Chain A
Amino acid sequence: MPGTYIPSEYLPVLIFIIIATAFGFGALIIGTVFRLKKPYYEKLLPYESGIDPKGEPRTRFAVRFYIIAMLFVVFDVEAIFIYPWAIVFDKIGIFAFIEMVLFIVILLVGYIYAWKKEAFQWD
């Protein structure tokens, strides 16, 4: 439970998020007053080079996209560990450097494995 701390420097961010969202919704809602609206069957068809759409639009796709997403999560976490290291680098010095070399080398093993297994290869 939050004790005595209020993150007041984030108040502008909150207000900005509200204003930006309101701007988007507002523009769309006000526009409905002026816009003409004449829908008919052909207009509402999804675009498919002028012919009638065939089959399921949300098709199955290559598993490679999924691997990229998995690797992205791993490398994202890795990057998150590097940021605070970069900030405190001055304070800790050579010790921190050796730690990070070890960290990155271990991850490079995985990276090379992924490369060898052609995870980055799009045919």
Chain B
Amino acid sequence: MIQQLFFIYFAFAITGLSLLVVTRKNPVHSVLWMLLLFFHIASLYLFLNAEFMAAIQVIVYAGGILVLFLFVVLLMNIREELRIGKYIGAGPTGFTFAAALLVVVFMSLRSFVAAPPGIYSIDLIKKETHTMVLGKLMYTEFLYPFEITSLILLVAIIGAIVLAKRRLKT
């Protein structure tokens, strides 16, 4: 009962906050609404018994990527009045794509079958702590994805520097 109430609150709050994020004219206000949005998503992870994911949500998304957004917003010095016609004019196309996406989501939801529960029950995760369970799986079973991640991060470092290199020299 209580869980459902919480979920209803989070579902509505997350949807509403997302709308606020995309409709603000001032990008800094958008970023602040997004901050609140990320906190709601983190709390949703807590209800899924995934506290480490909640911490990542706040540390990486709210503390890292959103700060990067702030830097970008300030770097480009976007003013409140600035509106680029190219993106505003693309409204009908955007709505078409959104509607198509909604249809796809509904169709995939209809064929959705819940997987059988694995060995990690709520009690087990609670006993061993979520971080421990996650670590054990990630560094044994999902070893290759983990190592590939480091390559992706390497590409990200090189990409960031190559993009800005020309600017650095001047």
Contacts of A111 in B (CB 8 A): 157
Residues of A70-123 at the interface with B, using a CB-CB cut-off of 8 Å, are 70-74, 76-78, 80-81, 83-85, 87-88, 91-92, 95-96, 99, 102-103, 106-107, 109-111, 113-114, 117-119
How far is B169's CA from A119's CA once the two chains are assembled, in angstroms?
A: 11
Residues of A41-95 at the interface with B, using a CB-CB cut-off of 8 Å, are 56, 58-61, 63-67, 69-74, 76-78, 80-81, 83-85, 87-88, 91-92, 95
Establish whether residues B122 and A80, one from each chain, have CB atoms under 8 Å apart when the complex forms: no
A28, chain B: closest CB distance, angstroms: 18
Contacts of A10 in B (CB 8 A): 43, 46, 51
Once A3-B3, A83-B131 are accepted as A-B contacts, the answer to whether A76 and B47 lie under 8 Å apart by CB is: no
How far is B150's CA from A103's CA once the two chains are assembled, in angstroms?
A: 6
Chain A: number of interface residues, binned into ranges: 35 or more
B130, chain A: closest CB distance, angstroms: 9
Establish whether residues A2 and B158, one from each chain, have CB atoms under 8 Å apart when the complex forms: no
How far is B56's CA from A61's CA once the two chains are assembled, in angstroms?
A: 30
Contacts of B151 in A (CB 8 A): 106
Establish whether residues A96 and B150, one from each chain, have CB atoms under 8 Å apart when the complex forms: no
Chain B: number of interface residues, binned into ranges: 35 or more
Establish whether residues A76 and B139, one from each chain, have CB atoms under 8 Å apart when the complex forms: no
Q: Does B16 contact A (CB under 8 A)?
A: no
Q: Does B77 contact A (CB under 8 A)?
A: yes
Q: Does A15 contact B (CB under 8 A)?
A: no
Once A4-B3, A10-B46, A60-B75 are accepted as A-B contacts, the answer to whether A73 and B154 lie under 8 Å apart by CB is: no
Q: Which 4 A-B pairs have the closest CB atoms?
A: A84-B135, A110-B157, A88-B135, A70-B160
**A residues neighboring B (CB under 8 Å):** 1-7, 10, 56, 58-61, 63-67, 69-74, 76-78, 80-81, 83-85, 87-88, 91-92, 95-96, 99, 102-103, 106-107, 109-111, 113-114, 117-119
- Would you mind naming 11 contact pairs between A and B with Cβ atoms under 8 Å apart? A7-B47, A58-B77, A63-B164, A74-B157, A77-B153, A83-B131, A87-B135, A103-B146, A103-B147, A107-B157, A117-B165
**B residues neighboring A (CB under 8 Å):** 2-4, 6-7, 43-44, 46-49, 51-52, 56, 59-60, 63-65, 67-68, 71-72, 74-75, 77, 122, 131-132, 134-136, 138-140, 143, 146-147, 149-151, 153-154, 156-158, 160-161, 164-165, 167-168
